[in-house]
């Protein structure tokens, strides 16, 4: 592939290779919040919290051990990436 018309790219890895199925279960009937509010967690709320907590405010993954064995970028590598001028 090409980063731009003058800059070739060599792909060394791809996102999305990992997969998991996550099942969140809850009550099998409606629970009135006036009687059960706070005692029974809303499965949609629990799931949204799990998903939100997967990343911190800078976008880094928060799962313990996720980055084990992944080398940090050297300053030279970081400078090369920044010189491409790509910004989302």
Residue 62 phi, psi (nearest 5):
-100, 0
**Across-strand partners of 6?**
none
Query: Domains in the chain: how many in total?
Result: 1
> 């990992």: which residue's tokens?
18
Q: Residue 38 belongs to what domain range?
A: 18-64
Lookup: tokens for 80 = 């090369």
Question: Tens of pLDDT along 29-70?
Answer: 888 777 777 778 888 889 999 999 999 999 999 999 999 999
Whether 36 is in a domain gets the answer yes
Whether 4 is in a domain gets the answer no
Which percentage of the chain shows pLDDT scores above 90?
Answer: 34
CB neighbour burial string for 34-67, b if at least 16 within 10 angstroms, e if fewer? eeeeeeeeeeeeeeeeeeeeeeeeeeeeeeeeee
> 């030279």: which residue's tokens?
76
**Under 8 Å between Cβ of 40 and 27:** yes
Look at residue 76 and tell me whether its pLDDT is greater than 90: yes
Whether 3 is in a domain gets the answer no
pTM: 0.55
Whether 72 is in a domain gets the answer no
């Amino acid at each position: 592939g090409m980063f731009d018309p003058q800059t070739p790219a060599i792909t060394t890895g791809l996102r999305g290779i990992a997969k998991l199925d996550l099942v969140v279960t809850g009550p099998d009937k409606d629970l009135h919040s006036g009687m059960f509010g706070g005692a029974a967690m809303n499965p949609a709320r629990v799931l949204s919290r799990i998903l939100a907590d997967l990343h911190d405010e800078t976008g880094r993954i928060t799962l313990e051990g996720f980055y084990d064995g992944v080398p940090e970028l050297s300053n030279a590598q970081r400078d090369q990436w920044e010189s491409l001028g790509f910004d989302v």
